[in-house]
């Protein structure tokens, strides 16, 4: 047993833009750094630390190390966002830990090592939950000398591309295991694919995971905890590409093409004016290219450097995520962007070199407002096509359609369609989930029921793989799956990678207890009736709430089914048949201190027509989370459904809760039965 009350797992999720590290059992990573790392010396083959444009060590700062050089490169002849720290003389190189689906294992190891240092994981002995300390970071690696022991088992998230050959994947897993056991000295380790973890984070073992990340959009069908190869598809439309498009617009490299698509009509129409020259003063720039004494060709070389493109992406990221577009109510949302007239755009954005882009007065500004639209655009504007291989640039909704149409099993396809889970950093554009839903209605057959689930919490969306890992590593049923160091030493990394993980890539039947039971499938906490014991049957979990025509009843103070029944018995048989309303409650489950409520919480049904129109039933679910996960504390989710009797009605209240849900209250309120005073506003609670 590697994880217990005192020692949690340490989880690392290295994506192509960001690396996230933290402890199992927590609801968010503690350390998030860029996944680009640099080597400060040409002699060192290894990378030494993640690159932070905001906090580069002085050794890498420019010749004089100062910010705000006066000779800035203007917006009209270049883009205006290169790092002021760029050392003109250093041989510093920047590399991303994952590129084109493959992992640079040295860079990957460097990021883990960095996270150990910044979170003081090594040598801290036992539990580190809640522990924080200042990063102790030296680019030359001199501080990497503390203690070498680590008590935490390591769970690595595999976010590499789905199209890797089995051989590549095998060797990648083998290298990751080597790094974890040898370089990082882990007592135990495990590797889990990000799509599966994202599904787990949404309490699902079967889901269609749509991950709009940095490198692009990945759609992966997950069935019973296995990522399927068939149906796994990828498109290059992601955060990085949006940034590149935005950059092209800013630098004025667009082609004039007003006839692209209706939505894009006028995109990049340069006749309406280009970006205005630098307008604002007094803006303290963060990234500037100092052109002092630099030859043209040196300047050009610098603009092509890895630092430059990284800084450029960061500026682009700030720009498309900043609320500079306003729909008048202070709300920015992707749904309304395409319907807007030019005049409706408001606001401005200031680039680091001081250039103010006035959204209302320049064409490019308006185009910039519609950047997120490109995720769904059918046809790309010409200048965008230049930078993209069209086959690999499928729009997000079409990608989902493509994935589903590769699933031959009807039943599974239906299940996946109703469990589309939206995750990833670039899925955080406001209301993107609703927009995706509406686009899907155009491409999926009308008979197919689908549902897009996206957490309202941005952190949950961006760090879903981490959160899934956090849940997984806390499960009792997962503990037997850790690979121990002893096993590694006896078997060797390559064989271990094949033995323990190959079946997941190839989706063969599990032989090693995978997938572990998610809490939602464990039947631990059964909802019981508390207040209205005579109305509810705790065994079948059914309520039998009697309904009756109000004019047939003159019996205030009616309390339970028995007395209702006696009134039925004494009723005139010629009166219309009194119908029953019943609903079946869901069950709530718990595992390892983490409680789950399954996605469908309650179903209720009016079995027969009822005789009065004024009746309504409301069912509410209150969930109070109390635990070590801060997000759970005091959380109350309330779902209400009103049923108008008078017709045969089925209703469903669905909600899903994950995290540390400790108390679930289900309440039924029956309204509108004026003659039954006990029913009016009555709340039957189950705890
Ligand atoms: N609030 C936001 N709105 C829109 N896009 C965002 C937001 N925050 C981050 N992004 C974009 O999300 C991308 C990063 O997403 P994510 O962290 O999922 O990527 P990653 O896991 O590092 O990469 P990959 O999924 O390719 O492995 C970046 O391109 C960034 O520009």
Sign of CA pseudo-dihedral 490, 491, 492, 496: negative
- Determine which residue's CA is closest to atom 4 belonging to ligand 1: 426
Higher-confidence position of 660 and 231? 231
Query: Rounded to the nearest whole angstrom, what is the distance from the C-alpha of residue 214 to the centroid of ligand 1?
Result: 5
Measured between alpha carbons, how far is 499 from 477 in angstroms, rounded to an integer? 20
Which residue among 13, 17, 373 has the greatest number of ligand 1 atoms within 8 angstroms of its CB, and so is best to mutate?
17
Residue 516 Cα to ligand 1 middle (Å): 29
619 or 550, which is more confident? 619
Given the structure tokens 């370089």, which residue do they identify? 183
Residue with CA nearest ligand 1 atom 15: 425
Q: Are strands 36-39 and 49-50 parallel, antiparallel or unpaired?
A: antiparallel
Find, among 120, 121, 117, the residue nearest to 141 by Cα: 117
Atom 25 of ligand 1, residue of closest alpha carbon = 213
Q: Indicate if the pLDDT at residue 211 is higher than 80.
A: yes
pLDDT of residue 391: 66
Ligand 1, atom 11, lies closest to the CA of 426
When pLDDT is averaged across residues 356-368 and rounded to a whole number, the result is 61
In a domain, 291, yes or no: yes
Mean pLDDT confidence for 121-135: 44
Mean pLDDT of 632-659: 42
Q: How far is the CA of 462 from the centre of ligand 1 (A)?
A: 7
Give the domain extent around 253.
239-322+346-388
Rounded distance from Cα 216 to ligand 1 centre (Å): 9
Minimum CA distance residue for ligand 1 atom 13? 214
Decide: 496 and 562 in contact? Cβ < 8 Å. Answer: no
> DSSP of 193-242, one letter per residue?
EHHHHHHHHTT-SSEEEEEE-SS-EEEEEEETTEE-STT-EEES-SHHHH
Contact in structure between 280 and 362 (CB atoms under 8 Å): no
Q: Are 376 and 353 in contact (CB under 8 A)?
A: no
Protein residue with least CA distance to atom 30, ligand 1: 239
Note the pLDDT of residue 46: 54
Long-range contacts of 135-142 (CB under 8 A, 24+ apart): 137/49, 137/57, 138/49, 138/57, 139/38, 139/40, 139/48, 139/49, 139/57, 139/59, 139/60, 140/40, 140/41, 140/48, 140/59, 141/44, 141/48
CB atoms within 10 A of CB 556: 10
198 CA distance to ligand 1 middle (Å): 15
Q: Which atom of ligand 1 is nearest to the CA of 18?
A: 22
Q: CA-CA distance, 357 to 275, in Å (whole number)?
A: 7
Q: Domain total for the chain?
A: 2
- In this prediction, residue 644 carries a pLDDT of 44
User: Does residue 285 belong to any structural domain of this protein?
Assistant: yes
Q: Is residue 294 part of a domain?
A: yes
CA of residue 159 to ligand 1 center, whole Å: 13
SS3 helix, strand, coil % of the chain, rounded to 5?
30, 20, 50
* Mean pLDDT for the chain overall: 60
Q: pLDDT band at 361, cuts 50/70/90?
A: low
Q: Is the pLDDT of residue 638 over 60?
A: no
pLDDT at 518 exceeding the cut of 60:
no
Q: Which residues on neighbouring strands pair with residue 144, listed in sequence order? A: none
pLDDT of residue 168: 81
Q: What is the pLDDT of residues 73-87, one digit of tens each?
A: 222 233 333 333 333
Could you read off the pLDDT of 598-616 as tens digits, one per residue?
A: 332 333 433 333 333 333 4
- For ligand 1, atom 27, name the residue with the nearest CA: 15
CA 562-666-631 angle, 5° bins: 170
Residues, the chain = 687
Mutate to test the pocket of ligand 1, among 13, 29, 108, 213 (most ligand atoms within 8 A of CB): 213
Tell me the best of 96, 426, 431, 463 to mutate to test the pocket of ligand 1, counting ligand atoms within 8 Å of each CB and taking the most: 426
SS3 of residue 543 by DSSP? strand
Which of 29-34's residues contact partners 24+ apart within 8 Å by CB, and which partners? 29/463, 29/466, 30/119, 30/132, 31/115, 31/118, 31/119, 33/111, 33/114, 33/115, 33/118, 34/310
548 CA from centroid of ligand 1 (Å): 56
Mean pLDDT for 524-538 is: 33
Strand 188-193 versus strand 98-99 pairing type? unpaired
- Please tell me the distance from the alpha carbon of residue 603 to that of residue 527, in angstroms, as a whole number: 14
**Average pLDDT of the segment spanning 343-368:** 61
> Would you give the DSSP letter of residue 179?
I
Q: How deeply is 562 buried, as exposed, middle or buried, from its count of CB atoms within 10 A (0-12, 13-18, 19+)?
A: exposed
List alpha helices for 58-165, DSSP H.
105-118
Distance 98 CA to ligand 1 centre (A): 14
Most confident by average pLDDT, 39-53, 159-173, 351-365, 451-465: 451-465
Q: Is residue 367 part of a domain?
A: yes
For residue range 385-436, list pLDDT tens digits in order: 555 566 678 899 999 999 998 888 888 888 999 889 999 998 988 888 888 9
Residue with tokens 């508390």: 530
Given a cut of 90, whether residue 209 has pLDDT beyond it is: yes
Closest ligand 1 atom to 317 CA = 31
Q: How confident is the model at residue 525 (pLDDT cuts 50, 70, 90)?
A: very low
The residue assigned the tokens 């009746």 is 615
Token pair belonging to 594 = 């983490």
Tokens 């020259």, residue located: 277
Atom index in ligand 1 nearest the CA of residue 239 equals: 29
- pLDDT value for 328: 35
Q: What is the pLDDT of residue 21?
A: 92
| Of 239, 244, 309, best ligand 1 pocket probe by most atoms within 8 Å of the beta carbon | 239
Asked if residue 617 is part of any domain, the answer here is yes
In three-state secondary structure terms, 438 is helix
Residue 401: both structure tokens together: 């359609």
CA of 15 to the centre of ligand 1 (A): 9
Q: Whose C-alpha lies nearest to ligand 1, atom 29? A: 239
Task: Count Cβ atoms below 10 Å from residue 634 Cβ, excluding itself.
Answer: 9
Which residues on neighbouring strands pair with residue 604, listed in sequence order? Answer: 583, 651
For ligand 1, atom 5, name the residue with the nearest CA. 426
Compute the distance from residue 33 Cα to the ligand 1 centre, in Å.
Answer: 12
Q: What is the spatial distance between Cα 207 and Cα 227, in angstroms, rounded to a whole number? A: 9
Residue 616 lies inside a defined structural domain of this protein: yes
The radius of gyration of the chain's CA atoms, rounded to the nearest angstrom, is: 29
> Ligand 1: which of 13, 16, 425 to mutate, most ligand atoms within 8 Å of CB?
425
Q: How far is 381 from 374, CA to CA, in rounded Å?
A: 9
Joined together, the tokens standing for residue 538 give 């705790």
394 CA → ligand 1 middle, Å: 18
Question: Which residues have CB under 8 Å from 324's CB, separation 6+?
Answer: 347, 348, 349, 359
Q: Would 529 be classed as within a structural domain? A: no
**136 pLDDT exceeds 80?**
no
In this prediction, residue 382 carries a pLDDT of 61
- Ligand 1 atom at shortest distance from the alpha carbon of 159: 27
Return the sign of the alpha-carbon dihedral for residues 357, 361, 364, 366: positive
The Å distance, Cα 247 to ligand 1 centre, comes to 16
Distance 584 CA to ligand 1 centre (A): 41
Residue with tokens 């185009």: 367
How far does the centroid of ligand 1 lie from the alpha carbon of residue 211, in Å? Answer: 10
Q: pLDDT confidence of 334, banded at 50, 70, 90?
A: very low
Task: Using DSSP, state whether 187 is helix, strand or coil.
Answer: coil
pLDDT band at 362 (very low <50, low <70, confident <90, very high): low
DSSP 481: G
Average pLDDT on 55-75 reads: 35
CA of 384 to the centre of ligand 1 (A): 20
Mean pLDDT of 343-360: 62
442 Cα to the center of ligand 1, angstroms = 26
Q: Pick the atom of ligand 1 nearest to 215's CA.
A: 26
CA 239–ligand 1 middle distance (angstroms): 5
Shortest-distance atom of ligand 1 to CA 424:
18
Instruction: Report the candidate in 302, 362, 245, 400 with the shortest Cα–Cα distance to residue 90.
Output: 302
- Cα atoms in the Cβ-side hemisphere of radius 13 Å centred on 645: 30
pLDDT tens-digit readout, 617-633: 444 444 443 333 333 33
CA–CA dist 175, 190 (Å, integer): 13
3-state secondary structure of 135: coil
Q: Determine the Cα–Cα distance for residues 373 and 367; give it in Å rounded to an integer.
A: 10
Q: Report residues whose beta carbon is within 6 angstroms of any ligand 1 atom.
A: 15-18, 159, 211, 213-215, 239-240, 243, 317, 321, 424-426, 428-429, 462
- How far away, in angstroms, is 34 Cα from ligand 1 center? 11
What pLDDT score does 453 carry? 85
pLDDT bin (cut points 50, 70, 90) of residue 347 is low
Residue 98 CA, closest ligand 1 atom number: 27
CA distance 465 to 220: 13
Residue labelled with tokens 């590499």: 160
Tell which one of 214, 237, 332 to mutate to probe ligand 1, the residue whose CB is within 8 A of the most ligand atoms: 214
């Amino acid at each position: 047993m590697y994880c217990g009350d005192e020692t949690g797992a340490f989880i690392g999720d290295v994506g192509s833009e960001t690396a996230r590290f933290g402890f199992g059992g927590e609801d968010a990573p503690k350390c998030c750094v860029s996944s680009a790392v640099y080597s400060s010396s040409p002699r060192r083959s290894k990378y030494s630390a993640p690159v932070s444009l905001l906090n580069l060590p002085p050794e890498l700062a420019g010749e004089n190390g100062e910010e705000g050089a006066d000779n800035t490169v203007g917006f009209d002849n270049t883009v205006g966002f290169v790092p002021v720290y760029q050392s003109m003389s250093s041989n510093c190189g920047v590399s991303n830990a994952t590129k084109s689906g493959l992992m640079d294992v040295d860079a990957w190891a460097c990021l883990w090592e960095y996270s150990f240092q910044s979170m003081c994981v090594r040598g801290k002995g036992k539990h580190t939950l809640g522990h924080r300390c200042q990063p102790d970071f030296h680019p030359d690696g001199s501080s990497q000398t503390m203690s070498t022991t680590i008590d935490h088992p390591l769970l690595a998230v595999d976010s590499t591309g789905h199209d890797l050959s089995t051989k590549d994947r095998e060797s990648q897993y083998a290298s990751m295991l080597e790094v974890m056991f040898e370089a990082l000295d882990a007592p135990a380790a495990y590797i889990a694919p990000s799509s599966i973890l994202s599904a787990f984070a949404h309490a699902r073992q079967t889901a269609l995971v749509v991950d709009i990340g940095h490198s692009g959009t990945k759609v992966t069908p997950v069935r019973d905890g296995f990522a399927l190869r068939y149906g796994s598809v990828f498109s290059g439309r992601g955060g990085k590409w949006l940034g590149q498009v935005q950059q092209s617009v800013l630098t004025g490299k667009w082609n004039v093409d007003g006839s692209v698509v209706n939505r894009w009509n006028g995109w990049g129409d340069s006749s309406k004016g280009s970006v205005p020259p630098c307008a604002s003063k007094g803006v303290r720039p963060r990234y500037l290219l100092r052109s002092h004494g630099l030859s043209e060709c040196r300047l050009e070389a610098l603009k092509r450097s890895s630092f430059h493109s990284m800084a450029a992406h960061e500026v682009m990221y700030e720009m498309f995520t900043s609320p500079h577009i306003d729909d008048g109510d202070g709300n920015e949302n992707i749904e309304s962007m395409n319907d807007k007239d030019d005049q409706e755009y408001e606001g401005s954005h200031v680039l680091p070199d001081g250039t103010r882009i006035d959204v209302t007065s320049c064409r490019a500004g308006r185009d910039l407002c519609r950047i997120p639209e490109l995720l769904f655009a059918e046809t790309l504007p010409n200048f965008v096509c230049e930078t993209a291989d069209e086959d690999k640039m499928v729009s997000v909704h079409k990608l989902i359609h493509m994935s589903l149409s590769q699933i031959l099993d009807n039943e599974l396809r239906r299940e996946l369609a109703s469990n589309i889970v939206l995750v990833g950093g670039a899925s955080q554009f406001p209301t993107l989930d609703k927009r995706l839903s509406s686009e899907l209605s155009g491409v999926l057959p009308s008979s197919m029921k689908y549902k897009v689930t996206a957490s309202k919490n941005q952190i949950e969306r961006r760090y879903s793989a981490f959160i899934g890992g956090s849940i997984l590593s806390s499960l009792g049923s997962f503990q037997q799956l850790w690979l121990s160091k002893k096993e590694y030493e006896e078997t060797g990394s390559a064989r271990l990678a094949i033995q323990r993980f190959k079946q997941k890539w190839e989706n063969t039947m599990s032989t090693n207890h995978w997938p572990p039971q998610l809490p939602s499938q464990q039947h631990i906490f059964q909802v019981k009736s508390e207040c209205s014991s005579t109305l509810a049957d705790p065994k079948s979990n059914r309520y039998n709430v009697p309904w009756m025509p109000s004019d047939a009843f003159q019996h205030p103070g009616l309390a339970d089914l028995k007395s209702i029944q006696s009134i039925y018995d004494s009723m005139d048989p010629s009166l219309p048949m009194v119908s029953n309303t019943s609903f079946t409650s869901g069950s709530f489950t718990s595992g390892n201190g983490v409680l789950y409520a399954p996605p469908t919480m309650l179903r209720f049904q009016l079995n027969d027509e009822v005789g009065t129109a004024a009746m309504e039933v409301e069912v509410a679910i209150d969930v109070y989370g109390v635990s070590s996960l801060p997000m759970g504390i005091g959380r109350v989710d309330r779902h209400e459904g009103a049923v108008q009797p008078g017709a045969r009605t089925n209703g469903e209240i669905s909600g899903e809760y994950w995290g540390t849900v400790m108390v679930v209250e289900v309440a039924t309120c029956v309204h509108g039965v004026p003659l039954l005073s006990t029913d009016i506003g009555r709340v039957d609670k189950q705890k």
